[in-house]
A = this chain, B = another copy of it.
């Protein structure tokens, strides 16, 4: 068999996005895929060769910066949210230079912060949440000490899509003279398009860095994460010398890195514009409300009313439900506290898909004796 035929068969064993309700990634926008193909050879690790692509990255960072309250933001398109969070925390650690650095993060922070703690040798202190599953700011305050280099706020938690009180976190960060990194990997391309503005970005004075991933709600191709800093001084804290390249310093975590994410991010933002993106977000939120209504008819109540297109529903036997759905080739996920099933209503999750899911789920619940 020809290798391309063989690879098509491999892809056939993957579950298609039309059955995926658990992922914060989605089918790339057609214009993203087209842009991606044009840049398939590019390597931003060598900016003296890829001069045009490098200029484009600067433009993309400036576009993202403008969306996030700081047109002078410095940063780059990374391999994803984990690299972006590593770099945000690494810059804080390198600038603070304490002996036994720690960071204070919400209990709701993404699991990758455990990885980041291990990689960077930074102690991770997890602050409890309040009744809305946002970080309890007084708990954060208690955990800060002289070795704290940064606080982390989440704008769009992985489990519930909640946004921490970034303004209050900002006050603590200023009082204690520590950095404030915002993980808006998901929410960074949702919140700017909501009618009701939530303060979470560089407009909050204490915010020093923001993770925002175009390969999530930006419908860019993978890999396209993003790390934005308030200014260039943070990039300096990450630099190493590069003797053989066409440039003298490198602030990225990776060396060789694709220009595809830059191109696909640019293509989507430019093609859709602010209003187009707003339309996509509006549609996702409308579908989220539809899903919540449908789930209520099956007896499921949301853990919190969703502010964005992530929602979890209280469920006994959450893991079993997930596994049974998976056997039927539907992918959802679960959370542990409280026990719940979780869904993300990405742009590929349209009304028709929701109806099909609800219908299959209803039949399954009846078969398993949860519903009559």
Contact = CB atoms under 8 A, between A and B. Distances in A.
Contacts of A222: 41-43, 256-258
Contacts of A119: 86, 90, 119-120, 253
A14 B42 contact: yes
Contacts of A240: 111-112, 114-115, 118
A48 interface: yes
B333 A245 contact: yes
Interface residues on A, range: 35 or more
Given A79-B223, A119-B90, A4 B257 contact: no
Given A38-B8, A222-B43, A53 B244 contact: no
B10 A255 contact: no
A277 interface: no
Most B C-beta atoms less than 10 A away, residue of A35, A52, A333: A52
Interface in A278-306: none
In terms of DSSP, what is the predominant structure of the interface of chain A?
mixed
A82 B254 contact: yes
Contacts of A263: 7, 10
A275 interface: no
A48 B323 CA distance: 11
B246 A331 contact: yes
Given A43-B222, A56-B10, A79 B254 contact: yes
Interface stretch (A25-33, A165-173, A362-370): A25-33
A20 B240 CA distance: 24
Contact of A15 (B51, B115, B223): B51
Contacts of A326: 48, 246
A307 B273 CA distance: 52
Interface string A1-26: 00110111111111101001011110
28 contacts: A4-B35, A7-B39, A7-B56, A7-B263, A8-B38, A10-B53, A10-B56, A10-B263, A11-B52, A14-B42, A14-B53, A15-B48, A15-B49, A22-B46, A22-B49, A33-B40, A36-B40, A37-B37, A40-B221, A79-B254, A80-B257, A83-B254, A111-B242, A114-B241, A115-B240, A213-B256, A215-B256, A225-B256
Given A3-B35, A8-B38, 4 more contacts: A11-B52, A114-B241, A222-B256, A243-B336
The 6 A-B residue pairs with the shortest CB-CB distance, nearest first, are A13-B52, A121-B121, A10-B52, A79-B79, A222-B258, A114-B240
